[in-house]
Amino acid sequence: MEASGSKGIVLTGMQPTGTLHLGNFLGAANRWNRMLERYTCYFFIPNQHAITVPQVPAALRAATLNCVAQYIACGLDPKKCSIFIQSHIVGHTELAWVLGSLTPLGQLYRMHQFKDKSAKKEHIYSGLLYYPVLMAADILLYNADYVPTGEDQRQHVELARDLAEKFNTTYSETFTVPVPLIEKVGARIMSLKSPENKMSKSDPDGNATIYITDAPEVIRKKIAAAVTDSGDRICADPERPGIGNLLNIYCAATHMTLEEAEEKFATHSGYAPFKRELADALIALLEPVRGHYAAIKDDKEYLQSVVREGAETVQPIARKTLAKVYRKIGFLEQ
C-alpha cells in the first residue's frame, strides 16, 4: 500500500536531546508547518529513542516538555495536529519487538547513524543498534504515508519501508509503505565548527550550533566565528565545505536558489559582509520562534494538556494496529 486516503498521514519527531537547532528548524519543523493543512499530522517526541545514548533523568524530563514548547514555537499549532510523547503510547516498543524479529542484524550494523554515534565510544548499548527498528515501529504503527526528515534519516525510513513490505508479504497486507520527504535545501545543515559533520543537538560544542533560542547577538557571534577557508569567493564548492554550508543555510533561510545567491554575492570580496547578511537573515527568521517559545515555555499545565490530548487521539490508532499485528502473527487474544 503506498500513500493512501484522501488526506495522507504524516508522522515525524525530534528527540528531546537538547534545544532544537537551525538544522532541526530548516530541515524539519519549518517544513512540517507547511503540511498542517494538507495532511493529518502526528508529531511526537521520541524519548524512547533519546535513551539510546546516556541521559540525565531530570534533564531528559525537562527537555521533553521543552521540546513540546519548541514544537509549538516553531509553528506546530496543536489545534491543527497531534503532538504526543512516545513513552505515553502503548504500541511503539511492542511493535518494535515484532519488527525486530524480521530485521537482519547486518542491516542494523550498516546504518550510518549507528556508526557515527558508536564511533570512539567505550560502551555501546544494543538500544543504539536497535534504534532504526523502533523508528520503523513509530512510523508503521500509524500507517504513515509520509515521513518528512533530514537526509540523515533517509536510511532509517528505507528500513521502515523494507519491514513494511516484508511483513505484508510474510503475513498479509497490513502496513502502508511510507515515503520519506526530504528536500534538497536545508536537508543537511552542517556544524559551524566542523562542516564535515552535521549540526546536532547532542554536539557538546555550543558554538558549532545555532539554537532556535539564541539571542541576536549570539547568532552574530557564532556566524562571525564560523569556520570558512582562506579564499574569498562565495560559492558552493565541495573542496570548501565551510562556506558551502553557510551558503546553503542562507538559501534555506531566504528561499533563494543556490544560483541566485551565488550571483548576489559574486561581486563581494571577503566573507565578512556575507556573514553579516547571513546573520541578519537568521535573526529575522528565528526572532518570532524565540518570542513564542519564551511566552509558553513555563506554562507547564498548557504543555501537559497538549500532550495529553495528543495521546488521547493517537492511542486508539496504535492499539488497533497492534491488535491487528498480534492477530496476524499468531498471538493468542486475551
What are the residues binding ligand ATP (CB under 6 A)? Answer: 12, 14-15, 17, 23-24, 27-28, 149-150, 152-153, 187-189, 198-202
| Residue number, 31 or 275, with CB nearest to ligand ATP | 31
Taking the complex as a whole, the smallest distance from the CB of residue 63 to ligand ATP amounts, in Å, to 10
Min. distance of Cβ 210 from ligand ATP in angstroms? Answer: 11
Which residues are the active-site residues?
117, 198, 201
> Any bridge partners for residue 198, and if so which?
190
The minimum distance between CB 199 and ligand ATP, in angstroms, equals: 4
CA 271 to chain centre: 30
The burial class, CB within 10 Å (0-12 / 13-18 / 19+), for 54 is exposed
**Residue closer to ligand ATP (CB basis): 82 or 174:** 82
The distance of closest approach from Cβ of residue 273 to ligand ATP in the complex, given in angstroms and rounded to an integer, is 25
**Cβ 209 to ligand ATP shortest distance, Å:** 8
Q: Which is nearer to ligand ATP, 44 or 175 (CB)?
A: 44
Choice between 17 and 174, CB closer to ligand ATP: 17
What contacts 139, CB < 8 A, 6 or more positions away?
Answer: 11, 147, 157, 160, 178
Residue with cell 534504534: 131
Nearer to ligand ATP, 189 or 281 (CB): 189
Q: Which is nearer to ligand ATP, 174 or 248 (CB)?
A: 248
- Shortest spacing between CB 223 and ligand ATP, in angstroms: 16
